[in-house]
């Protein structure tokens, strides 16, 4: 009996690996092109850290005219959830991060290097496992889970390193005949890698992000094919990233310590290993303690959170790029209108330790992103959000023409307003502009310097009787408010007021505040001239009436 016969006994139908080498030819890309992937498991929760990895991968591929593909790693079928793949595909779609290749729905894919779902690649893994057996670098192991547990217990009580290695790797020393015998007798088995490593030797490798890292060599005979015939992560990674011609494995740094296994596998099977870029997790400051963003504790860990909150995907991406490359922020300031794809993203410049997640900063970026949109875009996007998450807002936005006027206030110029950071803020931001909301609700009127009933009544009455003209331009409009201030005995200019504080009770700004509060119930709004234009005369009259009626 030789290795080849043993291999044939185990995988009689597996194709020679040449078949796959031929089928998945090296890619014809320009020098330096990065081929990389996002390889999530469909376990039902797309984590913001996953999106971050995917974004880093996409930007790396785009910058080098490479390829970004989506591979679904579903070999752990116990952990799989319903709609897991659909959720992943849709999350990427929501963020406008569709892959060049790979899964495009639960069942469909595009690209020539598929299948891109691991559970559909069983034959391929078995072909490569067969090849390893033929080389004498893998073998069937008949130990039951109970026996493996037994070994672990013995190691524990003897205080030695746990695992299936060296003298503990019982089955690696069976003769080929003994192996064949057991197989023929129907004994159950898995396939293990025969590690040539020694724990007392070190390996060094250069991670694209972490720099030079040193580890002890792997000496564990890790499982490559499980009892269900599917591969473990380690083996699938090696086979897939080889056949899909991945140049860079960009993944979470929880895999960093597995690199010795992976490099050894690549080496033993005789393939060139890809480069590795291990990304640090996004951290959270929890009362002074730095910890990973947690699926259980932090709603913002789930990618779905951003959609529900209506934080524009563009803002999330810009924020993540900002974490990835600290030079992004200045680039964005200097190039507010460029596409992020023009940013010179650099994988080498990612920070080695985990960045702190900063919601304030993200929302600030949201404000900038939204401020660059047209009124029409803001209308469309907030309507889409509202239809799913806020019926009342959707109802308000039904009047498109009026909504566009509201969103158009202080927009389009070179200093657009920056008061909306996410779609869930839109309602609160514009609700006072709707008569059916404003006039029918009890309002708070936070009057400031001028706050007595008599003065306010007089200002509102005089303004409508003598000063308001809907055809005024902005200058005339403001001059009228000054004139009104003068008539009331207040300073017409703030400067004048400051020079003679004892002479006046208030100034033109305080009169404006009375008008603003009466109109909107707020002290802080965008440009009041524009607001009055949008509201129109009839509404202004009603609002002043209401304000007077509600004076205490």
Q: Given the rule CB under 6 A, which residues bind ligand GLU?
A: 39-41, 73, 237, 249, 251-252, 255
**Nearest Cα to 241, choosing from 14, 25, 35, 30?**
35
Q: Which residue is nearest to ligand GLU (CB)?
A: 251
The C-alpha atoms of residue 138 and residue 264 are separated, in whole angstroms, by 13
Tokens of 436: 């059916």
Catalytic residue among 112, 188, 295, 400: 295
Place of tokens 């059916």: 436
Tell me whether residue 235 or residue 328 sits nearer to ligand GLU (CB atom): 235
Considering the complex, what minimum distance in angstroms separates the CB of residue 43 from ligand GLU? 8
Tell me whether residue 129 or residue 249 sits nearer to ligand GLU (CB atom): 249
The neighbour count for residue 324, using CB atoms within 10 Å, is: 24
- Put residue 205 in one of left, alpha, beta given phi > 0 → left and psi -120 to 50 → alpha: beta
The C-alpha atoms of residue 20 and residue 115 are separated, in whole angstroms, by 12
Considering the complex, what minimum distance in angstroms separates the CB of residue 264 from ligand GLU? 16
Considering the complex, what minimum distance in angstroms separates the CB of residue 407 from ligand GLU? 40
CA 133 to chain centroid: 41
Tell me whether residue 72 or residue 491 sits nearer to ligand GLU (CB atom): 72
Considering the complex, what minimum distance in angstroms separates the CB of residue 76 from ligand GLU? 9
The C-alpha atoms of residue 510 and residue 484 are separated, in whole angstroms, by 11
Tell me whether residue 49 or residue 140 sits nearer to ligand GLU (CB atom): 49
Considering the complex, what minimum distance in angstroms separates the CB of residue 308 from ligand GLU? 23
Alpha helices in 2-121 (DSSP H): 3-10, 17-23, 48-63, 84-94
Pairing label, strands 275-279, 190-193: unpaired
The C-alpha atoms of residue 263 and residue 259 are separated, in whole angstroms, by 6
Considering the complex, what minimum distance in angstroms separates the CB of residue 39 from ligand GLU? 4
The C-alpha atoms of residue 513 and residue 507 are separated, in whole angstroms, by 10
Tell me whether residue 90 or residue 457 sits nearer to ligand GLU (CB atom): 90
**Nearest Cα to 372, choosing from 329, 326, 415, 404?**
415
Considering the complex, what minimum distance in angstroms separates the CB of residue 71 from ligand GLU? 8
The C-alpha atoms of residue 258 and residue 247 are separated, in whole angstroms, by 18
Tell me whether residue 46 or residue 311 sits nearer to ligand GLU (CB atom): 46
Whether residue 295 lies in the annotated active site: yes
Tell me whether residue 215 or residue 255 sits nearer to ligand GLU (CB atom): 255
Cis peptide bond upstream of 550, omega within 30: no
Q: What 3-state DSSP class applies to 305?
A: helix
**Which residues are catalytic, by number?**
295
């Amino acid at each position: 009996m030789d290795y080849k016969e043993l291999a044939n006994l185990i995988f009689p139908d597996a194709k020679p690996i040449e078949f796959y080498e031929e089928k998945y030819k090296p890619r014809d890309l320009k020098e330096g092109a990065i081929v990389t992937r996002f390889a999530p498991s469909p376990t039902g929760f797309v984590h913001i850290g996953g999106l971050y990895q995917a974004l880093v991968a996409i930007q790396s591929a785009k910058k080098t005219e490479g390829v970004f593909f989506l591979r679904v790693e579903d070999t752990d079928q116990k952990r799989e959830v319903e709609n897991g793949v659909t959720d992943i595909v849709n999350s990427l779609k929501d963020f406008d991060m569709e892959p060049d290749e790979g899964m495009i729905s639960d069942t469909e894919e595009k690209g020539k290097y598929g299948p891109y779902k691991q559970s559909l690649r069983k034959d391929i893994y078995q072909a490569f496992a067969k090849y390893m057996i033929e080389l004498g670098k893998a073998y069937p192991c008949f130990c039951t889970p109970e026996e493996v547990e037994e070994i672990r217990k013995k190691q524990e009580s003897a205080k030695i390193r746990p695992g299936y290695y060296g003298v503990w790797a019982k089955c690696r020393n069976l003769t080929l005949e003994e192996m064949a015998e057991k197989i023929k007798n129907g004994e159950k088995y898995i396939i293990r890698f025969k590690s040539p490593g020694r724990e007392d030797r070190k390996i060094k490798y250069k991670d694209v992000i972490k720099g030079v890292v040193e580890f002890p060599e792997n000496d564990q005979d890790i499982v490559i094919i499980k009892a269900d015939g599917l591969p473990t992560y380690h083996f699938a990674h090696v086979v897939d990233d080889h056949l899909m011609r991945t140049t860079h494995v960009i993944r979470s740094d929880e895999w960093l310590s597995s690199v010795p296994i992976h490099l050894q596998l690549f080496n033993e099977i005789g393939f060139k290993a890809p480069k590795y870029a291990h990304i640090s997790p996004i951290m959270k400051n929890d009362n002074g303690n730095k910890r990973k963003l947690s699926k259980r504790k932090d709603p913002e860990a789930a990618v779905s959170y951003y959609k529900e909150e209506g934080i524009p995907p563009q803002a999330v991406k810009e924020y993540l790029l900002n974490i990835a490359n600290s030079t992004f922020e200045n680039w964005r300031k200097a190039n507010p209108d460029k596409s992020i794809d023009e940013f010179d993203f650099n994988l080498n410049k990612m920070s080695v330790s985990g960045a702190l997640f900063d919601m304030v900063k993200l929302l600030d970026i949201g404000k900038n992103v939204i401020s660059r949109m047209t009124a029409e875009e803001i209308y469309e996007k907030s309507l889409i959000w509202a239809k799913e998450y806020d019926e009342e807002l959707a109802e308000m936005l039904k009047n498109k023409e009026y909504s566009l006027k509201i969103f158009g206030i202080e927009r389009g110029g070179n200093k657009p307003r920056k008061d909306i950071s996410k779609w869930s803020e839109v309602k609160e931001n514009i609700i006072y502009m709707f008569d059916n909301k404003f006039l029918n609700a009890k309002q708070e009127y936070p009057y400031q310097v001028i706050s007595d009933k008599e003065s306010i009544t007089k200002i509102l009455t005089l303004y409508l009787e003598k000063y308001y003209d809907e055809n005024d331009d902005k200058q005339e409009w403001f001059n009228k408010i000054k004139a009104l201030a003068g008539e009331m005995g207040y300073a017409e200019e703030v400067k004048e007021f400051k020079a003679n504080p004892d002479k006046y009770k208030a100034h033109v700004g305080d009169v404006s505040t009375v008008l603003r509060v009466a109109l909107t119930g707020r002290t802080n709004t965008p440009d009041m001239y524009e607001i009055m234009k949008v509201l129109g005369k009839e509404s202004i009259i009603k609002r002043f009436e209401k304000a007077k009626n509600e004076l205490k």
